[in-house]
């Protein structure tokens, strides 16, 4: 280790052996540990989705029984939400990039960062144990009293798993907040920070302020089930709706834990792809914070039909509309950034364009749902299923894939095959829309969610959806295969294959363990692009 390191040493070949990974404190290696974990959970959650779409091919409930179907959509939701969407961008891309983008050698608390991953894996083990030992059938929302006194499935193990995993999220958020406050390189002022950092800062605030509330809530469900405490049980005067309040106080902001980092990725991609400073940089930065703050004030829009007072409903409806403002600021500013930009059609940008369009649809249909009268008609139908899949799959996963492509040369030091990648992005886009757009229609026509059988008139739209899901599955497999292929066979990337700005592109690919040979001194804003497109791959 005391030999003079040259640029051929990097974080991947700095040490060898399994233990060098399992005991690493390097944020980049921990990011790769998370990458492996969340990819596995994505595949598992995807398998449940396959089973759901197969069942819904035909109107009759002929593939699985309704009890099994309840477990399928519950485990699809639990795994995708808590073990993929929430950690995906912050714990993988955020872990890798937050220190590098602000010119730091590591996160503020490297051991805590490794501990976060272990906590995540322990929580995930409980959830997996629940899956293997009969599953859970409460829906990912764990509504009481069904979850606390009625259901006879593995609620306790799943609740404990979610409780534990929450602390991984809290510690990651804590680490990001302290790192962004205290570890910035000289000259890296708040308004020179990349928007990726702003959005991760806002996300971290939600993780620290929201996650403890879901932790105590599932802990109380656990206590009610296992220790026979009486908290939400109406038979001893408890209030099941209090559970919904506490649950959505976290779980609505959790939606922004999923989408804000995605917005940060898109800001980076759009700036690099258009070779322009992000239009209205400070508005986009503050929009992230505004979404984080407003996100805590809208939970009641999940409870319009849960005995909530009509006045509370009206206030929550108005507050929910307000979220559209910062969201629209972002979408318009990305579009304005592209305007007269030197626009790229490489794979990361294809995902970014996909994101902007799909997020706009997902966001606007959110306004439908925030409208009290309309929500009474479409709540608990496939309309809402389509809405949140447009935001989470069309938004978060598109951005996650776009970000993975954009930073893959930095992470792995290799280029992925551009032709295959463009093809994959196209397949994902087509498959996604074919899967979820028909669900808007079938939901508006009245098909309720969470049933394994449905009237025959809905079959055409459901067959389209299932066909789209199979195309989408292929679309996800393609990047999986060529990313692995490129680790060995991809051409070397060099430090800056995109000709992009940002500290991460000033260092080697892959970076050395300490990221920077010398602490960088920042003298310009995050997106100081000149208007010419360099000769890029």
Partner 1 sequence: MSDAQFVPSPATHAHHPAQAHHFDSLEQQQEASTLGMWVFLVNEIMFFGGLFMAYLVYRTWYPDAFAAGSSHLNIPLGATNTAVLIISSLTMALAVHAAQTSWRRGQIVFIILTIALGTTFLVIKAFEYADKFTHHLVPGPHFQWPDEKLRAPVEIFYSLYFALTGLHALHMVIGIGIMLWLLWMAWRGRFDAEYYSPVEVSGLYWHFVDIVWIFLFPLLYLIGAHVRHV
For partner 1, the binding residue among 47, 63, 121, 242 (CB under 8 A) is 242
322 binds partner 1 (CB under 8 A): no
**Between residues 228 and 488, which has the closer beta carbon with respect to partner 1?**
228
Judged by CB under 8 A, which stretch of 71-79, 177-185, 297-305, 387-395 contacts partner 1? 177-185
- CB neighbours of 328 closer than 8 A, spacing ≥ 6? 363
Does position 492 bind partner 1 by CB under 8 A? no
What string marks each residue from 202 to 231 as x (binds partner 1 by CB under 8 A) or -?
Answer: ------xxxxxx-xxx--x--x---xxxxx
- 514 is a contact residue toward partner 1 (CB under 8 A): yes
The burial class, CB within 10 Å (0-12 / 13-18 / 19+), for 373 is exposed
Verify binding: residue 517, partner 1, rule CB under 8 A.
yes
CA of residue 392 relative to chain centroid, distance = 7
> Of 389 and 501, which CB lies nearer to partner 1 in the complex structure?
501
Token output for 106: 């590591």
Q: Tell the smallest beta-carbon distance from residue 383 to partner 1 (Å).
A: 31
Taking the complex as a whole, how short is the minimal distance between the CB of residue 174 and partner 1, in angstroms? 5
- Number of residues binding to partner 1, judged by CB under 8 A: 53
DSSP 288-343: HHHHHHHHTT-GGGG-TTTT--HHHHHHHHHHHHHHHHHHHHHHHHHHHHHTTS--
Nearer to partner 1, 49 or 104 (CB): 104
Q: Whole-angstrom Cα distance, residue 299 to residue 237?
A: 24
Site for partner 1 contains 239 (CB under 8 A): yes
List all residues 6 or more positions away from 335 whose beta carbon is below 8 Å from its beta carbon.
Answer: 356
Give the nearer residue to partner 1 in terms of CB position, either 176 or 416.
176
Q: Let me know: does 414 contact 408? Beta carbons within 8 Å.
A: yes
105 binds partner 1 (CB under 8 A): yes
State which H helix or E strand residue 468 sits in: helix 459-489
Closest to partner 1 by CB, 136 or 170: 170
Residues near 6 by beta carbon (within 8 Å), at least 6 away in sequence: none
Considering only 174, 329, 331, 421, the residue that binds partner 1 (CB under 8 A) is 174
Residue 6 makes contact with partner 1 by CB under 8 A:
yes
For residue 5, state whether it binds partner 1 (rule: CB under 8 A). yes
d(CA 173, CA 481): 31
Considering the complex, state which of residue 296 and residue 454 has its C-beta at the smaller distance from partner 1.
296
- Contact (CB, 8 A) for 403 and 195: no
With vertex at residue 370, the alpha carbon angle to CA 279 and CA 293, rounded to the nearest 5 degrees, is 50
- Cα separation, 27 vs 94, in Å, equals 9
**Residue from 23, 506, 530, 534 binding partner 1 (CB under 8 A):** 506
Element housing 248 (H / E): helix 240-274
Does 307 help bind partner 1 (rule: CB under 8 A)? no
- Give helix 281-295 / helix 310-338 axis angle, nearest 10°: 160
Cα gap 26→524, rounded to integer Å? 28
Residue whose CB is less far from partner 1, 456 or 518: 518
What is the C-alpha to C-alpha distance for residues 324 and 260, in angstroms, rounded to an integer?
A: 13
- Least separation in angstroms between CB 517 and partner 1: 6
The three-state secondary structure class of 15 is coil
522 belongs to the binding site for partner 1 (CB under 8 A): no
By CB under 8 A, tell whether 18 contacts partner 1: no
Q: Does 270 bind partner 1 (CB under 8 A)?
A: no
Distance of alpha carbon 322 from alpha carbon 155, whole angstroms? 35
Residue with Cβ nearer partner 1 (241 or 426): 241
Is residue 182 a contact residue for partner 1 (CB under 8 A)?
A: yes
| Residue from 15, 61, 109, 450 binding partner 1 (CB under 8 A) | 109
Structure tokens at 464: 């389209």
Binding residue for partner 1 (CB under 8 A) from 508, 510, 526, 527? 508
DSSP 8-class letter at 512: B
Residue 518 within binding range of partner 1, rule CB under 8 A: yes
Instruction: Establish if 523 lies at the interface with partner 1 (CB under 8 A).
Output: no
- Give the chain's count of helices (H) and strands (E): 17, 0
Q: In the bound complex, what is the minimum distance in angstroms from residue 361's beta carbon to partner 1? A: 33
Please say which residue, 484 or 536, places its beta carbon nearer to partner 1. 536
Which stretch in 129-137, 330-338, 444-452, 500-508 sits in contact with partner 1 by CB under 8 A? Answer: 500-508
Query: In this chain, which of 238, 402, 479, 490 binds partner 1, going by CB under 8 A?
Result: 238
CB of 145 to partner 1, least distance (A): 14
Taking CB under 8 A as the criterion, the residue among 89, 177, 260, 469 binding partner 1 is: 177
Distance CA 237, CA 479 (A): 53
* Stretch 141-170 residues interacting with partner 1 (CB under 8 A): 170
3-state secondary structure 402-465: HHHHHHHHHHHCECCCHHHHHHHHHHHHHHHHHHHHHHHHHHHCCCECCCCCCCHHHHHHHHHH
Residue 497 is a binding residue for partner 1 (CB under 8 A): no
Indicate the DSSP class of residue 231: S
326 binds partner 1 (CB under 8 A): no
List helix spans (H) across 64-154. Answer: 66-80, 86-87, 95-101, 110-132
CB of 107 to partner 1, least distance (A): 8
**Which residues lie near partner 1 (CB under 8 A)?**
4-7, 104-106, 108-110, 170, 174-175, 177-179, 181-183, 208-213, 215-217, 220, 223, 227-231, 235-239, 242, 245-246, 249, 495, 506-508, 512, 514, 517-519
């Amino acid at each position: 280790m005391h030999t003079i390191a040259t640029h051929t040493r990097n974080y991947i070949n700095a040490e060898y052996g399994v233990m060098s990974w399992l005991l690493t404190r390097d944020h980049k290696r921990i990011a790769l540990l998370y990458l492996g974990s969340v990819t596995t959970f994505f595949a598992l959650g995807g398998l449940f989705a396959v089973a759901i779409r197969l069942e819904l091919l035909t109107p009759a409930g002929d593939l699985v029984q309704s009890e099994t179907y309840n477990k399928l959509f519950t485990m699809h939701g639990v795994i995708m939400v808590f073990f993929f969407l929430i950690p995906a961008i912050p714990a993988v891309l955020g872990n890798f990039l937050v220190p590098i983008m602000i010119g730091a050698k590591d996160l503020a608390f490297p051991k805590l960062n490794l501990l976060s991953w272990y906590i995540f894996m322990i929580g995930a083990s409980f959830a997996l144990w629940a899956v293997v030992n009969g599953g859970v059938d409460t829906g990912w929302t764990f509504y009481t009293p069904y979850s606390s006194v009625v259901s006879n499935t593995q609620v306790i193990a799943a609740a404990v798993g979610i409780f534990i995993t929450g602390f991984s999220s809290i510690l990651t958020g804590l680490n990001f907040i302290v790192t962004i406050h205290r570890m910035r390189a000289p000259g890296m002022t708040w308004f020179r920070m990349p928007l990726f950092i702003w959005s991760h800062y806002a996300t971290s605030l939600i993780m620290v302020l929201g996650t403890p509330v879901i932790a105590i809530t599932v802990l109380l469900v656990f206590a009610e089930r296992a220790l026979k405490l009486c908290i939400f049980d109406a038979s001893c005067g408890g209030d099941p709706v209090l559970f919904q309040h506490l649950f959505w106080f976290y779980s609505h902001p959790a939606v922004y834990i999923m989408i804000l980092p995605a917005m940060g990725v898109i800001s980076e991609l759009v700036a690099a792809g258009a070779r322009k400073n992000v239009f209205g940089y400070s508005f986009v930065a503050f929009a992230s914070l505004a979404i984080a703050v407003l996100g805590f004030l809208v939970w009641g829009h999940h409870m319009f039909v849960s005995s909530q007072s009509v006045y509370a409903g009206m206030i929550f409806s108005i507050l929910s509309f307000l979220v559209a403002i910062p969201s629209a600021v972002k979408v318009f500013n990305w579009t304005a950034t592209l305007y007269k930009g030197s626009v790229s059609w490489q794979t990361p940008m294809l995902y970014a364009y996909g994101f902007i369009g799909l997020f706009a649809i997902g966001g606007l249909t959110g306004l439908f749902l925030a409208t009290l009268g309309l929500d009474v008609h479409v709540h608990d139908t496939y309309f809402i299923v389509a809405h949140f899949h447009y935001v989470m799959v069309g938004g978060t996963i598109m951005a996650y894939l776009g970000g993975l492509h954009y930073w893959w040369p930095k992470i792995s030091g290799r280029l992925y095959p551009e032709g295959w990648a463009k093809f994959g992005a196209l397949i994902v886009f087509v498959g996604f829309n074919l899967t979820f757009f028909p669900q808007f229609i079938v939901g508006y026509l009245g098909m309720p969610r969470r049933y394994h059988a449905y009237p025959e008139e809905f079959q055409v739209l459901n067959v389209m959806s299932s066909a789209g899901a199979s195309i989408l599955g292929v679309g996800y497999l393609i990047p999986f295969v060529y990313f692995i292929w490129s680790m060995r066979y991809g051409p070397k990337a060099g430090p800056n294959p995109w000709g992009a700005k940002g500290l991460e592109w000033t260092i080697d690919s892959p970076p050395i363990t300490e990221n920077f040979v010398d602490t960088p001194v920042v003298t310009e804003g995050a997106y100081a692009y000149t208007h010419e497109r360099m000769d890029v791959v």
